[in-house]
Each structure stands twice: as C-alpha cells, then as structure tokens.
Amino acid sequence: MPSLSDNDRWLLSYYRSSEINAALFFGRVSRMVKPGELQAEVTHHFADEANHAKYWNQCINDLDAYPIKMRESYQDQYLDAVGMPSNLMEVMAITQVLEKRVIGQYRRQLRVPGLHPRVKQTLDQIMLDERWHIQYVRDALEDMKDRYGADHIEATLDKFTRADQEVYAKTLAEYGERVDFLGVRPEFLGGPDDL
Amino acid sequence: MTRVPGVRFFLGREPLPVAELTGGEAAQYAALPPHGPRRRAWLTGRHALRRALVWTGRPADTSRVTFPHDAVSLSYSGAIAVVAATDGAVAGIGVDVETGPPPDIETARVFLRDGELRMLRRLPPPRQPGALLRWWTVKEALFKADPDNHLGGLRRYVLGTPPGGGGVARRAAGRCGAGLSYRSFALRRGYLSVALALDPTRSVPPMANRDFSELAAKLAPLISRPAATISPDLTMNDLALDSMTAVEMVVDLQEDYDILLSRADLESCATLGDLAELIWSRLPGAAGNEPVRG
C-alpha cells in the first residue's frame, strides 16, 4: 500500500521540482561569477540543490511512489513576480530571500503532526545545507556593499522580501487543499524571517 | 582592441657605477646614509630605472623622476629592484615586488577592508599567508599608481575578490578619478604586482570606431549564435533569448568588464549596439563612470 497520500506526493514532488529549478538556476549563476571564492561557493550551492532534488526523488521512491512529473516551482512563480535580476547583487539578494523561504517552508513541514520519518530524515538532511547557503549569501552581499552601496542592497532585499510574501500567499491560495495540512493561515504569513 | 596599455618590467641586479651618475643623481646619492645597504640598493634601482626611461623615450637622468609617475614605478626587494614602465597614456603606474615571508596575519587589518578580511578568513588556512602577501603587493602597486594617493592609505583601495592574476580596483571614497586595474604574478618566492591608473580625461571612442567583434565574440557562446551573425543593429527581441539566458548574458558582461548596470540601463538598450555603447561608457577611464545604483 502506498505510504503517501496524493497531497503528500504532490507536495514532495513540488519540492523536488523546486530543487531542480534551483539547481538549474545556480548552474547558470556558477558560469557568471568571476574566478574567486564566490565562484566556488556558488558552484557548491549548485551541486547541493541538485543533490536535494535527488534526496526528494529517493524519499518519494522509498515511500513506494514516483515523483509527479511537473515543471512548477516556487522560484519560477517568484521570478515571474519580481522580474529577472539585472546584476549579480540582485541575483544574490533573490537567492537570500528564496533560501529563507525554503528554510521557513521546510521548518513548517517538520512541525506537521504525524510527519513520516523518511520525510523528516530528508528535511533534516537538506536543512544542514540550507543554513550554510544563507550564511555564504549573507557574506557575499556584505562583501558587495562597497560596490553596490549598503543602502541599495538593503532596499533591494526589502523589495524582494515583500514580493516573496505576496507570492507565497498567492501560492498557498492557488494550491489550496494540497497544502492545507501545513496549517498556514493568512494572518501568519510573515516574511521568511518570521517562519 | 587593447584597453589596457602595455607594461614592461626591467629587473635591476647590479648597481649603477657611481662614476656614471649624472650631477643630479650624484647629489641624491650623496644625501643617502654612507653606511648600510641603502646606497647599493638605490644604485641597483637607478640601473633598472634608466633602462626603463630610455624605453619610454624619456631622458635617462633618473634624478628628474618623482613618484607617483605616469610612466615608471620602482620597487625593491632584497638585493633586486624592479621597474615597471608603460608607453601608454595613463595617469599613473605602480609596481611592488615582495620575495620575503608573508606579513603577519594580524597586520591584515592595517591594509585590508572589512569585506576583504572576511574574504581572507574564508580561504583555507594554508592559503591565507600567500594570499595576504599577494594582496599586499597589489595594494602597494595600486597606491603607487594613484596620482591622488596622498588622500589615503592602502585601505582606500578596494578589491571585489581576493587578488588573482589581474582585475580592477576601486577607491572606497572620494572623487571617482582614474579607474584602477592591476596584474599580479606569482614568483618562485613571493609576488610581483603592477597597477595602472587609467587616465579619466581620455574620452572613450564612440562605438562606431571600436571593434564590435570583441563583444560579439563574448556573446556568441552565451546566446548560442555564431559571432559572425551578431551585429550592432540586432535588437534584443531578435535574439529571442529565454529569460535566464538574458540574465546570464547581462550579468556575465558586467562581471567580465567589472561594471554595473541597472534595470533602467538595460531597458534603455534597444539593440546590441546600444548595449555595447553602454558597456564602453562604463569602463574604467570612460568619462562619467560613476557607479550605478538603482
């Protein structure tokens, strides 16, 4: 008997799809960055995201199912809303906001009552990498202050964070009952930092 | 097209014979302490400096040279002296050679900015001393090249990444002035770095007079199109790029040329010719190359 409900399978497949799109995004970013420390970090990040997609695939398989073939991802919905980044600072700012959203979402998932241990194991494994992602992106943005201006970076992060809150609310509304079990109510839709 | 003027190095190993000094040089030599290594080092440096001046087409009398200089720069390390010379129109040139041990890591704060210190700390510990020595030579070279170096010390010069084989630097504050670029070479022991302050008064030739093929060659692999088919009159719509390829293209160009472009800048570019002119106008040395925000 399958261990996953339809909604569980859909959500885990959505996570897999989002990780795949993140890997594809960071694969492109890895080619943009100049030789140096950030180049190594972004390339590491690219590999992490690809691994996360693999973890979700394995997790779904271990729960006697296959991932649903889908192209949707949170990143695509987000980039549709904020527009494509125009320079490397915006790329890193978008990354910062999306990584915080991912951590927030995965934390929320970890709090779901009756979470399957195999799903918890996958979440725990991915969360280890996500914390490092947040840290190196924060450092990269700090290093960019001389070039782009601290105020400009701050304003960009604020703008992207506000957009994330709107997109997240829309995403929850769009997928309705599939994510009801996460227990998210509109009044609790704070920024990623609040999650 | 060559954007950065050529540089030639002159190595001094032997001192210039005192008998060959000009009157002005003899007076400078006489003012040096009579004992210790200073006199021999000074003569070794003059030997290299003379050859460099002749190469640039200037009189060989080194006593007329004051630093910072727009054609020659001199550095000593141990028994050797190195002169870097350029025959290009630049505002200043600086060179530094270090063949001794790396500076104490605790002294990094004296010449690195906070962001640079973080970059240093993120390097694997075994790589930090070598990186610090190279950083020092690059900063020294930048300082020497800067005609306005009286306005601050080494921390005034900002590198966006740990120094590698070459790149550009900015001044942390003050008027924009000349753009700064550098090259750095790993020696058997130590590093040799040279920096140029590009002349901000030189206007950048309009795109029509420049070689568009350089940009076309850069774009070709990015947009999967033969360089020969990429012309200045192509519009962005003609390229039919997916959104991520468009991002990769504009970010890649900004990173390659070390310039900043905003969304508004990009929206103002209807054709690749417009984009090329925008990039050229933001290069170090172009008039009005203030950083772009927003």
Residues A139, B251: C-beta atoms closer than 8 Å: no
Give B175→chain A minimum CA distance, Å.
14
Helical pair A150-175 and A88-110, crossing angle rounded to 10 deg: 40
Query: What is the reported pTM?
Result: 0.57
Q: What pLDDT does residue A193 have? A: 37
Q: Taking Cα atoms as reference points, which of B157, B179, B166 lies closest to residue A36? A: B166
Q: Taking Cα atoms as reference points, which of B54, B51, B58 lies closest to residue B82? A: B51
* A35, A84, A144 member nearest B246 (Cβ): A84
Q: Does the structure show a pLDDT above 80 at B64?
A: yes
Which residues of chain B does A87 touch, with a Cβ-Cβ cutoff of 8 Å?
Answer: 250-251, 254, 260-262
Q: How many CB pairs under 8 A join A and B?
A: 84
Other CB atoms within a 10 A radius of the CB of residue B94 amount to: 29
Confirm if A112 and B138 have CB atoms less than 8 A apart.
Answer: no
Give A57→chain B minimum CA distance, Å.
25
Q: Please give the single-letter amino acid code of residue B167.
A: G
From A2-11, A47-56, A126-135, the region with the lowest mean pLDDT:
A2-11
Is residue B210 very low, low, confident or very high in pLDDT (cuts 50, 70, 90)?
low
Residues B118, A31: C-beta atoms closer than 8 Å: no
- The enclosing H or E element of B76 equals strand B72-77
Residue predicted with more confidence, B287 or B138:
B138
Q: Taking Cα atoms as reference points, which of A127, A117, A18 lies closest to residue A67? A: A18
What would the pLDDT profile of A64-93 be if each residue is shown by its tens digit?
999 999 887 888 888 888 888 889 999 999
From A29-43, A172-186, B69-83, B270-284, the region with the lowest mean pLDDT:
A172-186
Q: What pLDDT does residue B199 have? A: 67
- Residues present in chain A in total: 195
3-class DSSP state for residue A158? helix
Kind of pairing between the strands at B191-198 and B180-186: antiparallel
Q: Does the interface predicted TM-score (ipTM) exceed 0.85?
A: no
β-partners of residue B75 are B82
Confirm if B22 and B63 have CB atoms less than 8 A apart.
Answer: yes
Q: Taking Cα atoms as reference points, which of A144, A155, A148, A132 lies closest to residue B113? A: A144
Q: Please give the single-letter amino acid code of residue B56.
A: T
Chain B residues whose C-beta sits inside 8 Å of any chain A C-beta: 113, 115, 118-119, 122-123, 158, 160-162, 164, 167, 170, 172, 243-244, 246-248, 250-252, 254-256, 260-263, 265-266, 291, 293-294
* B164, B251, B293 member nearest A149 (Cβ): B293
Is the sign of the CA dihedral B17, B22, B27, B32 positive or negative?
Answer: negative
3-class DSSP state for residue B168? strand
Residues B119, A37: C-beta atoms closer than 8 Å: yes
d(C-alpha B191, C-alpha B268), whole Å: 43
Is residue A188 very low, low, confident or very high in pLDDT (cuts 50, 70, 90)?
very low
> Is domain B212-281 classified as CATH 1.10.645.10?
no
Within B79-236, strands assigned E span 80-86, 90-98, 157-159, 166-171, 180-186, 191-198
Q: Using alpha carbons only, how large is chain B's radius of gyration in Å?
A: 22
Out of A62-71, A77-86, B154-163, B266-275, give the one with best mean pLDDT.
Answer: A62-71
Q: Which residue has the tokens 């000009």?
A: B22
The CA-CA-CA angle for residues B47, B48, B52, to 5°, reads 120
* A29, A37, A86 member nearest B261 (Cβ): A86
Residues A37, B113: C-beta atoms closer than 8 Å: no
Confirm if B210 and B226 have CB atoms less than 8 A apart.
Answer: no
Is residue B200 very low, low, confident or very high in pLDDT (cuts 50, 70, 90)?
low
Residues B251, A25: C-beta atoms closer than 8 Å: no
Q: Taking Cα atoms as reference points, which of A43, A55, A66, A44 lies closest to residue A18? A: A55
What are the residues whose beta carbons fall under 8 Å from the beta carbon of A184, sequence distance 6 or more?
A108, A172
Q: Taking Cα atoms as reference points, which of A71, A109, A93, A97 lies closest to residue A168? A: A97
The ranges assigned to domains in chain B are 7-198, 212-281
Choose which CATH entry (3.40.190.170, 3.30.300.130, 3.40.50.970, 3.90.470.20) describes domain B7-198.
3.90.470.20
Which residues of chain B does A32 touch, with a Cβ-Cβ cutoff of 8 Å?
Answer: 248, 251-252, 255
Give A127→chain B minimum CA distance, Å.
22
